[in-house]
């Protein structure tokens, strides 16, 4: 069994590290022309590809994989379409395409009756002021993640400035949601249609980048858990989705509003490596390989802290309750270089342990 993954980043690394113990082999597509494949060096075949290259040749270079999957949505969907002629691609190109563009994502949610924030597309910010109320958030349709390419529009002057700067660009403009907090639902669907849900995680962002997660999300109304699972089931079935899908939601007093979908394993699910019977990485591998899914049940409570711009792996700050994951990437401010998973018997113990870690790791971590 050989699985090829489009992308050479830390998510590909952790997918491979979850599948190698089962004897599964991996190949990686380096599709961004960057020489930095350090996350996956040694873990399998690495093949370069760029727009215009032959997919048939790539398929051979990848060692004729049994299936192809992805670690990211920002990729050339024509590559997935071309590879689909050689082997199954999970999730399918339609699902990746729907999630890589904010407008198509909004249309999908609307079509399935899944609540999301109201928006305009193809309209200027100034025109949007007549249909939506301030504040607004303008987001690039195709290139936004980790808070990049987002404009907050608080007044008419902001709107005019945005229109002057971004006229003709491809963006949507959303009503800003006064949310209480952000949670995410990570779920997995097997080739046979079986669906397993992880518990909701609560996420905290720093400067637009996910900085920490806690699961299960504290004080969540049980009806909201069911709502998240219901949204997920509709999405997974509509897209005939195979693998892990992540859904970020805003918690509002009345309901969950979907903020964003990611057709892949997700940073807000990294805690599953320590906190669940089966991690999101192992379950994605099991799903795309056509194997029975593993249980998603938790052990106690779990947490995750991202190591952003951290100079070196803070291994000495580990304790019995936590494990550092380090991606071997070159250090750069604002870059996700690793994460730490925490497990504990209860929320108070978890929070104390996360506080102890950040105090102990001190200057080595930048959060």
Q: Where does this chain bind a second copy (CB under 8 A)?
A: 1, 14, 17, 20-23, 42-44, 196, 273-274, 277-278, 282, 286, 289, 291-295, 299, 313, 315-316, 318-321, 323-328, 338, 343
Sign of the torsion formed by the C-alpha atoms of 26, 267, 207 and 110: positive
Question: Bridge-partner residues for 161, per DSSP?
Answer: none
**Phi and psi, residue 356, nearest 5°:** -60, -45
3-state secondary structure of 84: coil
**Residues 6+ away with beta carbon under 8 Å from 170:** 103, 140, 141, 142
H/E stretch holding 160 reads helix 156-166
Question: CB 41 → a second copy: shortest distance, Å?
Answer: 10
Question: Bridge-partner residues for 342, per DSSP?
Answer: 303, 322
H/E stretch holding 320 reads none
Question: In terms of CB distance, is 243 or 338 closer to a second copy?
Answer: 338
Question: CB 343 → a second copy: shortest distance, Å?
Answer: 6
Question: In terms of CB distance, is 29 or 159 closer to a second copy?
Answer: 29
Question: CB 138 → a second copy: shortest distance, Å?
Answer: 38
Question: In terms of CB distance, is 25 or 233 closer to a second copy?
Answer: 25
**Residues 6+ away with beta carbon under 8 Å from 244:** 186, 187, 188, 264, 265, 266, 269, 280, 283, 284, 287
Question: CB 191 → a second copy: shortest distance, Å?
Answer: 12
Question: In terms of CB distance, is 238 or 353 closer to a second copy?
Answer: 353
Question: CB 364 → a second copy: shortest distance, Å?
Answer: 13
Question: In terms of CB distance, is 42 or 113 closer to a second copy?
Answer: 42
Question: CB 29 → a second copy: shortest distance, Å?
Answer: 18
Question: In terms of CB distance, is 220 or 291 closer to a second copy?
Answer: 291
H/E stretch holding 102 reads helix 102-111
Question: In terms of CB distance, is 38 or 160 closer to a second copy?
Answer: 38
Quickly list DSSP for 172-236: EEEEPP--SEEEEEEEEE-TTS-EEEPPPEEEEEETTEEEEEEESPTT--HHHHHHHHHHHHHHH
Question: CB 237 → a second copy: shortest distance, Å?
Answer: 20
Using an 8 Å Cβ cutoff, are 51 and 78 in contact? yes
């Amino acid at each position: 069994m050989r699985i090829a993954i489009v992308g050479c980043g830390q998510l590909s690394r952790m997918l491979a590290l979850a599948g190698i113990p089962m004897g599964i082999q991996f190949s990686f597509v380096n599709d961004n022309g960057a020489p930095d494949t350090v996350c996956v060096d040694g873990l399998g075949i690495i093949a370069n590809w760029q727009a215009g290259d032959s997919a048939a040749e790539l398929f051979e270079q990848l060692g004729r994989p049994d299936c192809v999957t992805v670690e990211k949505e920002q990729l050339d969907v024509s590559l997935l379409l071309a590879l689909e002629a050689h082997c199954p691609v999970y999730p399918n190109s339609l699902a990746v395409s729907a999630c890589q563009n904010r407008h198509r994502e909004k249309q999908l949610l609307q079509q399935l009756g899944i609540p999301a924030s109201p928006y305009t597309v193809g309209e200027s910010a100034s025109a949007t002021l007549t249909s939506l109320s301030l504040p607004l958030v303008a987001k690039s349709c195709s290139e936004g993640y980790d808070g990049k390419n987002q404009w907050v529009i608080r007044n008419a002057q902001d709107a005019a400035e945005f229109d002057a700067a971004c006229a003709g660009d491809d963006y949507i403009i959303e009503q800003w949601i006064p949310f209480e907090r952000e949670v995410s639902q990570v779920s997995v669907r097997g080739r046979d249609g079986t669906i397993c849900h992880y518990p909701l995680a609560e996420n905290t962002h720093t400067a637009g980048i996910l900085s920490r997660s806690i699961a299960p999300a504290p004080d969540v109304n049980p009806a909201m858990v069911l709502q998240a699972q219901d949204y997920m089931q509709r999405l997974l079935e509509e897209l005939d989705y195979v693998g892990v899908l992540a859904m970020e939601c805003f918690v509002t007093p009345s309901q969950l509003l979907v903020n964003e979908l990611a057709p892949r394993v997700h940073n807000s699910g990294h805690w599953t490596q320590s906190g669940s019977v089966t991690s999101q990485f192992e379950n994605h591998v099991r799903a795309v390989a056509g194997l029975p899914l593993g249980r998603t049940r938790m052990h106690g409570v779990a947490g995750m802290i991202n190591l952003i711009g951290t100079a070196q792996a803070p291994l000495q700050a580990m304790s019995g309750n936590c494990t550092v994951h380090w991606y071997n990437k070159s250090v750069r401010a604002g870059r996700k270089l690793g994460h730490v998973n925490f497990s504990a018997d209860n929320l108070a113990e978890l929070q104390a342990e996360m506080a102890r870690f950040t105090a102990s790791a001190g200057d080595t971590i930048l959060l």
